[in-house]
Amino acid sequence: FPARSFKMPKDAEQMVQQYLENYYDLKSVGEQIGQIGRQRKGSLVVEKLKQMQKFFGLKVTGKPDAETLKMMQQARCGVPDVAA
């Protein structure tokens, strides 16, 4: 199938983090320190990614796959998709 060519951005992880912070109320986890904080961050990102994928009608994987990253790169309204 002719899926449009897609170049994975170099800073994909940072882009996902920023997108979820902006539009999906993913709190900045910079202040969380240690293993528990990192685990918590990981599960929060997955949860928010699933939320985002469901909202946009994408396959809900909880992973930043090509379709998800492509959607994140589209120009959009700056109002968050979920209430802060």
The binding site for other proteins (CB under 8 A) comprises 1-2, 4, 22-23, 54-57, 59, 71, 74-79, 81, 83
Q: Coil, helix or strand for 13?
A: helix
In angstroms, what is the minimal distance from the CB of 39 to other proteins?
Answer: 29
| Closer residue to other proteins, CB minimum distance, 2 or 30 | 2
| Closer residue to other proteins, CB minimum distance, 40 or 54 | 54
DSSP-derived secondary structure for 1-22: --PPP-PPPTTHHHHHHHHHHH
